[in-house]
C-alpha cells in the first residue's frame, strides 16, 4: 500500500488558516451575489421607469404638435379678421382730415401763438449760446500753461537754432 505522510504542526496550521480564509471568501462571495441581485432589480425598475418616461414624452410631443396646429389656425383666423378691419380703418383715417378742415379764424388764432412760441425759443437759444460762450472763456482762462522741455521754434528753423547756440 501507499506510504503515509506525517503532517507536522506547521502544515496543520497552514491548512487551518486556509480553511478560515476560504470561509471568509465564501461569505464575501455570498454578500457580493446579494448585492448583484439587488443591482439587477434596480436596473430592471429603472428600465421600466425609463419606458414610462419615454411614453409620457411622446404624448407631450403629440400635445405640443396639436397646440402648434391650433395656434397657427388661430393666427390665420386673427390675421384674416384684422386685415379687413385695418384697411377699413385706414380708409376712415384718410377721410378724416378731409372732413375736419379748420376754419380760417382758428388758423388765424394759432398763428400768433406759433410766432410767440418761436420768439421765446429763439431768445432761449440765444441766452444758452451766450452762457456757453462765457463758460468757454472762463475755462480757457483757467487752463494751466503747457510746459515742455524744448524751446519753441517754428518749423524749419531747428537747424538755425542749433547753429547759433550749438
Q: φ and ψ at 131, to 5 degrees?
A: -60, -40
pLDDT tens for the chain, 166 residues long, are: 456 677 788 888 888 999 999 999 999 999 999 999 999 999 999 988 998 998 999 999 999 999 999 999 888 888 888 766 555 555 555 545 445 556 666 667 777 888 898 999 999 999 999 999 998 888 888 777 777 676 666 677 766 655 665 5
| pTM value > 0.75 | no
166 burial (CB, 10 Å; 0-12 / 13-18 / 19+) is: exposed
Give 150's DSSP letter. S
Alpha-carbon distance of 62 to 70, in angstroms, equals 12
Amino acid at each position: 500500500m501507499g506510504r503515509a505522510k506525517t503532517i507536522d504542526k506547521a502544515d496543520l496550521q497552514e491548512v487551518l488558516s486556509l480553511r478560515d480564509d476560504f470561509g471568509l471568501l465564501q461569505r464575501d462571495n455570498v454578500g457580493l451575489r446579494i448585492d448583484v441581485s439587488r443591482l439587477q432589480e434596480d436596473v430592471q425598475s429603472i428600465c421600466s421607469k425609463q419606458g414610462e418616461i419615454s411614453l409620457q414624452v411622446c404624448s407631450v410631443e403629440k400635445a405640443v404638435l396639436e397646440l402648434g396646429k391650433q395656434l397657427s389656425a388661430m393666427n390665420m383666423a386673427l390675421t384674416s379678421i384684422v386685415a379687413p378691419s385695418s384697411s377699413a380703418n385706414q380708409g376712415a383715417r384718410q377721410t378724416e382730415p378731409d372732413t375736419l378742415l379748420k376754419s380760417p379764424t382758428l388758423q388765424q388764432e394759432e398763428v400768433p401763438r406759433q410766432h410767440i412760441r418761436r420768439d421765446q425759443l429763439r431768445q432761449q437759444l440765444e441766452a444758452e449760446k451766450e452762457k456757453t460762450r462765457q463758460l468757454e472763456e472762463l475755462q480757457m482762462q483757467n487752463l494751466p500753461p503747457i510746459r515742455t522741455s524744448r524751446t519753441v521754434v517754428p518749423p524749419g528753423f531747428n537747424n538755425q537754432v542749433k547753429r547759433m547756440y550749438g
